[in-house]
Structures are given as structure tokens and as C-alpha cells.
Amino acid sequence: MRRPVALRLQAALGTLALAAATGVVLSMPEAAAAAGGATGYATQNGGTTGGAGGQTVRATTGTAIHQALCGRASSSTPITIEVEGTINHGNTSKVSGDSCNTAADKIELKQISNVTLVGVGNGAVFDQLGIHIREASNIVIQNVTVRNVKKSGSPTSNGGDAIGMESDVRNVWVDHTTLEASGGESEGYDGLFDMKANTQYVTLSYSTLRNSGRGGLIGSSESDVSNGYVTFHHNLYENIDSRAPLLRGGTAHMYNNHYKGLSKSGINSRAGAKAKVDSNYFEDSKDVLGTFYTDAAGSWQVSGNIYDNVTWSQPGEDNNPAGPDPQSNTSVSIPYSYPLDDASCVPDVVSATAGANKGLKVSDGSCTPQNPDPTDPTDPTDPTDPDPTDPPTGANLSIGAGSDGSSKASGTSYGDVRDGDLGTYWSPAGTTGSVSVKWSSATTVSKINIREAAGSAGTIGSYRVLNHDSGAVLASGSGAGVIGFQAVSLKKITFEITGASGTPRIAEFETYAP
């Protein structure tokens, strides 16, 4: 009998599932979310860790994302939501609960904290559906694509912003994302990455922003100057008209970005804003730095940038381009350390790292993309894993309990797995399926014993053990026998067979207390 592998429920690495009917499905371990940790200004003000330390769910619909948020114990309970598939208006509805405040036309991260959204598997695409962060803190968004979000036309979402933050938002890290539109305001689109109404301590890293009239802004008007402390690094801005970004008040740090095809203007520092612009590569663009479309001037500190085929307009009353020979007119102190690639290699580094589904590759300042450090969340030698014994001791809690399941073959019964009789058994209507043991009140369980019926030993292949109440994956492995996991209080526990060499026959599904 092969030993199972106990899964540790730890920061952003455990796997949690909700009911499949709501679009949340079971996940196998993937590359760790937020690999390497936050960078830039998101490391300040206490740091940005998202859902680290909490449970992990897999969602395939927008409704499932909202349900995961609403299913938490509180609005600040850490959670990592692994997203796979296409999220759109058709599968995103409002969900209510004490720990959430959601809406049907957007992914709503409102009045909450300690959340990670990370794309996994074959990728996550938010199609014509924006991500709205409002009155929230400690948010991580990673490895997702958000495309074609409109403010006019049909369908509309999130005011036309791919990712929009407003109203007392703190500590957001957006990393390895692809944000794109298919035109400008006249085609119904607005900004790709907007921050307003007192949004601070934000980093946008290793992301691609393209094919939009507006890259993004910091501050919605000349009087909205309470935003700032934003870092942009190793991003690609491509085929953007302007706002790369527009900065009204506050401080921003732009380093190692590749700006390509900015047709009207780029970094627009105004209304007293300060921009530190380090070792970026500007290519085939116009007016990549300065104060534009206003007489409310901003300032900048420049070093190490390359201007490749950049044109500059003439200064005017509402136009103050930094070029053709950009010079610093302010000084900006940066409170964090950062590895700086030489601007000459930025196009190559950004091409290899920026955007969703690039393997979360990063740069360490050596002009050579690096893979994130691998992490194995299923190490069976972890000393915190319980040590199952065979056979287990104590009372079998399944005797006298209830049971149900996903399906049953003709002539078998769910109740046969809890009757203490090895001569009776349950089989699924096929080679895979699930069976559960349930109680009328919460019961603490730390170990189960799956006993196959005579003549079927070794049939069961891969499996998962689930806390049916919350969807948490308690253990994963292969083969029947004793399976141990961290003690948990629940009303229903499920044994799910995900692979088998024939039709499984489970004679007993025994459960034991610590």
C-alpha cells in the first residue's frame, strides 16, 4: 500500500475548493502565487502579502471568485483565489455576505483586505470585465489578463478601467499581468490601470499594457492629489496614446520599463507630482516625459534612460516636454532597494518577463531573466504533518453517522461504507466519484481509513480528501489505507477518487479523532 501525501495548508500554497457548480473546482499544487514577494512601494507601509497565510481556492467563474470572498470568516481573513478560464459577464453575478460587498458587472474587491488573485493552469482571462479595488488593502493580483473593458457601449464594466483603484486603497501589488484594450475613448475604453481618491503604496511590475488610448492615471483631477507612492518597473507600454501614466500629485518611481509606440505623450507629471525615471527604454514615441495638457506643472528626476527615435513637441502654455535633452528638475528619495538593469537590455528583459503566462520570470539586475524559486507544497517529510498509524486507534466515528456521494453503482449503497461490515461496499457509477460521511454537529477528525472490498485491493488510484463544509483539500495521494491530516472540525468529510484502474469498491470509510 502506497502512503498518501498529506497537504499542508499554508500561505498561498494549499489548495481549497468550493462546490464545482459555482465555478470553484479542486486544484492541484501549482507555481506559488506571489513568487519572490512584492517589490517597490508595495513593500512599504507594512508590506503587501495578499492572501498569504490563508486558504487557497480555485475559481473558474466570476461568481465563484465572489463566493470565495463572501465565504470567508471575515472581510480580512486571508485567502488566495487561483483563477483559471475566462471570467465574463455571463458567469459573474453578485454574491452577498458579511465578508464581502460584490457587484454583478465587475470583480469587486471592496471593503476587504488580505486577498490574492492569481491566474493558474491554462491561464485566467477577464474578458470585458474589470477588477475594481475600493476601500481595500493588502491586495495581490498576479498572472492574469484583463481585456477590452468598456465604459460605454456594451457591455460596460468598472467605468472602463481594466484595473481600477479608488477610495482609501492601500498596498496593492499587480504583477505579471496583461492589460489591453482595442482602442481609445471613442471606442468605449478608458484606462488600463487607474488610481484615485487616496490610493497609496502600489506596485505594477512585469506587466504588459497595450492597444489603449489611456495607459492609466494617478489622481482623477488636479485636486485629487492624495494618491501616490507608486512603483512601475519592468513593464511594457505598447501602442498607447497617452497616460503612461498621468501623475497628479504624489510620487512615482518608474524604472526598467519599455515604452514603445506612445503616440501623444508618456509619463505626464503634473499638479506638483514627482516622478523618478530610472533606466527606461523609450522607443518610437512622442513626448515621453513632461507636463502636458495643463499649466499645473509637475517635476521629474531622470537617470540612465535611452531615447530611441523619440520626438518632442514645442513648449507652450499647457505643454512642457522634458526633451529633447531631459534633465532633472527635482530630487526623489526612494525608501527601498531595487536591482536596476541597464537601459540597453530593458527591451529584451521586458520581452521575456512582462505579461501573464510568462512563468513569473523576473530580473535581478543582471540583464538575464530569472525563473522564480520553485517551492514544493507537498513535502511529506514536513515535521508538522501528522504521522498516520495503521491501523488507527480509537472509535470509528463513521458508525452511526450519515453518508452520501456523487453517484452509486447498481446494488451498492452510500451507507455500506459506515456499517462496520467489510462484506458490503459502495462503488461509484464509473471509475471515479466521491463518497462522504456526515454528522449533525461539528466533529473533529484527523485521520481516515479507506478499506477496499475483497477482490478490489489496489484499484483506487489518485484521491483527494475534502472538508466538504469549506471545500478545503485536507490530503491528496494515491492508494487506499490510512490517511492523516491536520485535525479539523467539520460536519461532512468527502473522499474523492480522481483516478482508478477499474471500478473501486469501498467497504468502509472510517473516521477518527486526534
Whether residue 114 contacts residue 140, with contact meaning beta carbons closer than 8 Å, is answered with no
Beta strands in 44-183 (DSSP E): 55-59, 79-87, 107-110, 113-127, 131-134, 137-142, 145-147, 163-166, 169-175, 178-183
First to last CA, the chain: 23
Q: Which amino acid is at 452?
A: E
* Alpha carbons 366 and 342: distance in angstroms, whole number: 8
Question: Angle CA(428)–CA(431)–CA(436) in degrees, nearest 5?
Answer: 40
* Alpha carbons 16 and 80: distance in angstroms, whole number: 9
SS3 content of the chain, % helix, strand, coil (to 5): 10, 45, 50
If 0-12 CB within 10 Å is exposed, 13-18 middle and 19+ buried, where does residue 209 land?
buried
Beta strands in 346-467 (DSSP E): 362-363, 369-370, 402-405, 433-452, 462-467
Q: Computed over its alpha carbons, how large is the radius of gyration of the chain? A: 26
- Give the Cβ contact number of residue 154 at 10 Å: 8
Q: Which one from 72, 170, 210, 243 is the annotated catalytic residue?
A: 243
Active site residue 243: yes
Instruction: Give the residue among 462, 448, 452, 458 at the shortest CA–CA distance from 492.
Output: 448
Instruction: Give the residue among 233, 244, 212 at the shortest CA–CA distance from 310.
Output: 244
If 0-12 CB within 10 Å is exposed, 13-18 middle and 19+ buried, where does residue 421 land?
exposed
* Alpha carbons 505 and 500: distance in angstroms, whole number: 11
Question: Angle CA(119)–CA(32)–CA(157) in degrees, nearest 5?
Answer: 25
The SS3 call for residue 113 is: strand
* Alpha carbons 458 and 475: distance in angstroms, whole number: 19
Phi-psi region of 228 (alpha: psi -120 to 50; beta: other; left: phi over 0): left
Instruction: Report residue 365 as a C-alpha cell.
Output: 539586475
**Looking at the annotation, which residues are catalytic?**
243
